Amino acid sequence: MQILIIQLARASMAKILLIDDDCRSGAKYLESFSLPTFYMQDFSIQGMSVADFTTARRLIDQAGYTVLDKNGGADIIFDDAKELETILSLLRQNGLHAELTDIADTLYQA
């Protein structure tokens, strides 16, 4: 499984982080992610899990989205948050299972 993380890049743009759902890739991404210092009870990183990172990255790139490699994954830049459904449909139409999920659910703050 892979994960796409949705973040606002700026008011008129959004970005999705595509990462492999194994412990190593998620950990690589989280190492470079700024976590809150206190009060993480409600902290969440919503993402989209997909079946094949390489294929999903290629399909999104071929669809004309900007793809930027990151530590542990790749940012997918798109114009409007409404395009998320378009990206989900693209992946599903090409046989990739895609669903929204929380990838920070394994974080623990002691």
Q: Which domains does the chain have, with CATH numbers?
A: 2-29+47-101 (3.30.780)
Q: What pLDDT, on the 0 to 100 scale, is given for residue 37?
A: 72
Amino acid symbol at 9: A
Q: What pLDDT, on the 0 to 100 scale, is given for residue 94?
A: 95
Q: Give the bridge partners for 102, in sequence order.
A: 46
Q: What pLDDT, on the 0 to 100 scale, is given for residue 56?
A: 92
Write phi, then psi, for 6 (nearest 5 degrees): -95, 125
- Residue count of the chain, please give it: 110
Q: What is the pTM of this model?
A: 0.75
Farthest CA pair distance, the chain: 43
Q: What pLDDT, on the 0 to 100 scale, is given for residue 31?
A: 77
pLDDT under 70 in the chain at which residues?
Answer: 1-12, 21, 23, 26, 38-41, 105-110
CA-CA distance, 11 to 2, in Å (whole number)?
26
Asked whether the beta carbons of 19 and 2 are under 8 A apart, the reply is yes
Q: Report how far apart, in Å, the C-alpha atoms of 7 and of each of 15, 70, 110 are.
A: 5, 14, 26
